[in-house]
Amino acid sequence: MGRKIPVKLRNEPLIEAVWELRFRPKESSVGEHLLAVLYKELWASYPKIVRLPMADIPSFVREQDSKLKYLPKMRLMGENRAIQIGDFVVSLSNSRPYMGWKGFSQAIQELVRLLHQSELIAIGERISLKYVDLLEMDDPPSLARLDLELTMAGERIQTAPVHLWTKIQDREEILHIVEISCPAELRLPGDSARHRGVLLDIDSVKRLPENKPWVEEVQRVLNPLHEASKRIFFHLLTPETIEALGPIYEE
């Protein structure tokens, strides 16, 4: 685990980055109020409002179902960014091209500032950073790109279809939910080409203490959460894969 971690990659495999805050509101059905607050301040960057299917489900049904409770009802859309809003959740996503952590974290901090100013959030429950990457390097796509050995009936599996899901708890009490699909095929918005490779989905989750101001805790753990997620990603890649992605170790 002492491997040197690049600052960035020349051949960026990232498909989407998502930051999420789950919270307890000060009153019921705050999603519409948050939408109004955020749109007023951010309409120039997120001019389009999209109503999501979850908005049609009664609030009392959503609140009683843990699978529905944290799903968003509305979306504010920009060029390659979106803010999703629910009664118990707000998220910010950045699809390819990725603006880099400096730009993405600044956008997160601005969103957190507006959420705090709204005075609609009582307690922050957890924040998370999710990164979805597609390694398009081999034909057929191969698990050999990862620091992973999977055998079955004495045979090592590399190019056979595989879908893996697991959890990794680190020493900083951050839970990393790791999902690997090989092969994976997808199309990106505005791109007619099909992209095929090994899909690596890492969702890093940090719970927030209930006895401290949520906004201060979000600001305190944001960068450490990103560093922890980054470590997991690079330690899941082989040295050869990292080299093929064009690592840059200093700005």
| Each residue's pLDDT tens digit, 70-115 | 999 999 999 999 999 999 999 999 999 999 999 999 999 999 999 9
Query: Is residue 171, in this structure, part of any structural domain at all?
Result: yes
Query: Is residue 3, in this structure, part of any structural domain at all?
Result: no
- Provide the pLDDT for residue 1: 47
Rounded to 10 degrees, what is the CA torsion of 62, 65, 67, 69? 40
Query: Is residue 203, in this structure, part of any structural domain at all?
Result: yes
Q: Is 100 exposed, middle or buried (0-12, 13-18, 19+ CB in 10 A)?
A: middle
Pairing of strands 175-187, 162-169: antiparallel
Distances, alpha carbon 120 to alpha carbons 25, 53, 110, 200, 250, in Å: 6, 23, 16, 35, 41
Number of domains in the chain: 1
Q: What three-state secondary structure class fits 2?
A: coil
Ramachandran bin of 16, using left for φ above 0, alpha for ψ from -120 to 50, beta for the remaining angles? beta
Pairing of strands 81-85, 74-77: antiparallel
Strands (E) in the chain, as ranges, are 8-9, 14-25, 48-51, 74-77, 81-85, 89-95, 121-135, 151-152, 155-156, 162-169, 175-187, 194-207, 247-248
Gap between the Cα atoms of 126 and 63, Å rounded: 17
Query: Is residue 73, in this structure, part of any structural domain at all?
Result: yes
Q: What three-state secondary structure class fits 153?
A: coil
Query: Is residue 174, in this structure, part of any structural domain at all?
Result: yes
Distances, alpha carbon 135 to alpha carbons 35, 66, 233, in Å: 35, 33, 12
Whether residue 85 contacts residue 75, with contact meaning beta carbons closer than 8 Å, is answered with: yes
Q: What three-state secondary structure class fits 110?
A: helix
Query: Is residue 66, in this structure, part of any structural domain at all?
Result: yes
Query: Is residue 1, in this structure, part of any structural domain at all?
Result: no
Query: Is residue 141, in this structure, part of any structural domain at all?
Result: yes
Count CB neighbours of 138 within 10 A.
17
Q: What is the pTM of this model?
A: 0.94
Which pair of tokens denotes residue 129?
């950073």
Q: Which among 115, 129, 127 has a CA at the least distance from the CA of 35?
A: 115
Q: Domain of 182?
A: 8-248
DSSP 36: H
Per-residue pLDDT of the chain (251 residues; tens, 9 = 90+): 467 899 999 999 999 999 999 999 999 889 999 999 999 999 999 999 999 999 999 888 888 888 899 999 999 999 999 999 999 999 999 999 999 999 999 999 999 999 999 999 999 999 999 999 999 999 999 999 999 999 999 999 999 999 999 999 998 899 999 999 999 998 887 777 889 999 999 999 999 999 999 999 999 999 999 999 999 999 999 999 999 999 999 86
Gap between the Cα atoms of 135 and 1, Å rounded: 21
Matching residue, tokens 């009582």: 122
